[in-house]
Structure 1
């Protein structure tokens, strides 16, 4: 891996290779492309936009962007929601090229945490003078996550949310309503054994959530949110409870008071190993990493990646307040 000049801006002639997921985010892909080209070309910078129409081609397109960036001393940029940013970051990590983002999603926790504007033109302009900063990355087995990884109820909530978005559009209100509908249904409980930093405990829970994003954890009132900047991840598990009790926790989280609730177990760790409880027939878990759903074989190992992601951070006068 190449050594990056952390804390410095990229070269003034470094080209930008932008992976744009046209099926992701709030904005029209052609409009986003036009904005980015206008900003980059207006500043005399080379830019190539690699559009992805089918999510199955996202990884291949990201690899192509990395190849181009390494050959030409350029920057790889992900334009899309947290899932798109995750997929491109998975390819960039360890390759020695800087990584930028143009947030296009509903919540944009990753971009907001690092002061990156949700406005495409402002975010593109900020890339021109951004500095390289190493950012902590979480790993679930071989999968990277920037914001969170989870199993149980939370992946189901994400699947339901996408269904509601297709019907009613992308908004935080639609996401909240979808969440209410999901938690009110009955759900299969997880019977798991967790080994946390050398200590083992058994747990029956509806969901296990692991966070790597301070802003998201702060927004629901988890006091250990600062631990994700100190080489640790934060786990959250809900005790076995009724749908009505979970609805109460959903609103408690919306009021930023989830931490400290009697039915919430929260803890920070360097490594967490999750297995089905002895005697369980299934060894497969449905998991979510930054909103992308997949199945994984146990054991599930959550940890901080050995390498950090070389993220382009806007200069101080262009950083946005966390909202």
Structure 2
């Protein structure tokens, strides 16, 4: 635990496009809570997602200068970007969850309601939290390649048309699966041991709550300081849908067509026919292209997250 000065200013990176609620109501909750606590707050509003990274870095620079706290107000993608800028800066990190799933905040017992989340920020201390890395890029919830990044891109396209909800996300994912997807042949190195996987998607988890809800036993590996690796074996569309159903029911780890294990470091090596080309990689719901090899690892530096001392993460509805 890191003791914070009770007067430490809050530098809040507020993604106006995240979540379902009113940005005005969230901003009102922020200003009222800080005024009641006599706490200085600097609100950095983001109305263009392309500026999120730059604004996050500005917030970190300001927090380093005045001994403040960097806060991400948004969904898992926003939290990821602000965490990337904060990691290694020495600043404490806070979260005001505004997304659809909010896996990171739920895991660490941070409430979804703005008023309650502000009380956590204003009254609790910072605790070390594990961070995953892929080629230097932070992931707090998961990273993946293959089918899952494609599913995320399709989901975002549907959300732009129909709005953000879990029902839209599920429907978009179902349509993506019905279209089918070719399997990848991946040469991987797991902490010095080489193996080959054929899989439609490689999923690296860093969130125990998500792994528990899928029914993957490597949730315990994450709690012990490792990453959870999940790979589906090549299957037909109907079998793939069956695996998705198993995941929804919390029984994915029981399926014979699923490989899962824990590790602290995994490298996806570039086959000769791929060279050093770039592949799509999703990190906490955001898709980008990265050059092979892909180095997945646990960061040697923790994120200093302001959260309840004994968080009671939600374990029910995914």
TM-score w.r.t. length of structure 2: 0.96
Shift of 1:63: 1.0
User: What is the RMSD of the two structures over their aligned residues, measured on CA atoms?
Assistant: 1.5
Distance in 2, matches of 1:320 and 1:283, equals 39
Shift of 1:174: 1.7
Query: Against the structure 1 CA distance between its residues 320 and 239, is the aligned structure 2 distance closer, same or farther, given a 3 Å change threshold?
Result: closer
Q: Tell me, what secondary structure is at the counterpart of 2:179?
A: coil
Indicate if the aligned counterparts of 1:205 and 1:239 stay in contact, CA closer than 8 A. yes
Q: Structure 1 residue aligned with 2:128, among 128, 134, 152? A: 134
Match for residue 115 of structure 1? Answer: 109
For residues 224-243 of structure 1, what are the structure 2 equivalents within 5 Å?
224-243=218-237
Match for residue 196 of structure 2? Answer: 202
Distance in 2, matches of 1:247 and 1:322, equals 24
Shift of 1:203: 1.6
Query: Against the structure 1 CA distance between its residues 242 and 281, is the aligned structure 2 distance closer, same or farther, given a 3 Å change threshold?
Result: farther
Q: Structure 2 residue aligned with 1:172, among 162, 166, 171? A: 166
Shift of 1:321: 4.1
Distance in 1, matches of 2:298 and 2:258, equals 23
Match for residue 32 of structure 1? Answer: 26
Shift of 1:315: 5.0
Indicate if the aligned counterparts of 2:190 and 2:263 stay in contact, CA closer than 8 A. yes
Distance in 2, matches of 1:214 and 1:14, equals 30
TM-score w.r.t. length of structure 1: 0.94
For residues 47-86 of structure 1, what are the structure 2 equivalents within 5 Å?
47-86=41-80
The number of residues matched between the two structures is 316
1:87 paired to 2:76: no
Q: Which range moved further: 224-233 or 78-87?
A: 224-233
1:125 paired to 2:119: yes
Shift of 1:135: 0.3
Query: Against the structure 1 CA distance between its residues 320 and 273, is the aligned structure 2 distance closer, same or farther, given a 3 Å change threshold?
Result: closer
Distance in 2, matches of 1:263 and 1:285, equals 24
Query: Against the structure 1 CA distance between its residues 171 and 120, is the aligned structure 2 distance closer, same or farther, given a 3 Å change threshold?
Result: same
Match for residue 265 of structure 2? Answer: 271
1:300 paired to 2:294: yes
Distance in 1, matches of 2:173 and 2:272, equals 31
Q: Structure 1 residue aligned with 2:90, among 75, 85, 96? A: 96
Indicate if the aligned counterparts of 1:126 and 1:315 stay in contact, CA closer than 8 A. no
1:106 paired to 2:97: no
Which sections of structure 2, spanning at least 5 residues, go unmatched? none
Indicate if the aligned counterparts of 2:2 and 2:304 stay in contact, CA closer than 8 A. no
In the TM superposition, what whole-angstrom CA distance separates every residue of 1:66-95 from its partner, at most 9, and x where no partner exists? 111111111010000000000000010010
In the TM superposition, what whole-angstrom CA distance separates every residue of 1:217-267 from its partner, at most 9, and x where no partner exists? 000000111111222101111111111111000010000000021111111
Distance in 1, matches of 2:140 and 2:292, equals 21
Q: Which range moved further: 144-153 or 170-179?
A: 170-179
Q: Which range moved further: 162-171 or 301-310?
A: 162-171
Q: Structure 2 residue aligned with 1:159, among 153, 164, 170? A: 153
Indicate if the aligned counterparts of 1:191 and 1:276 stay in contact, CA closer than 8 A. no
Indicate if the aligned counterparts of 2:276 and 2:293 stay in contact, CA closer than 8 A. no
Distance in 2, matches of 1:290 and 1:120, equals 22
Indicate if the aligned counterparts of 1:117 and 1:319 stay in contact, CA closer than 8 A. no
Query: Against the structure 1 CA distance between its residues 320 and 247, is the aligned structure 2 distance closer, same or farther, given a 3 Å change threshold?
Result: closer
Match for residue 280 of structure 2? Answer: 286
Which sections of structure 1, spanning at least 5 residues, go unmatched? 1-5
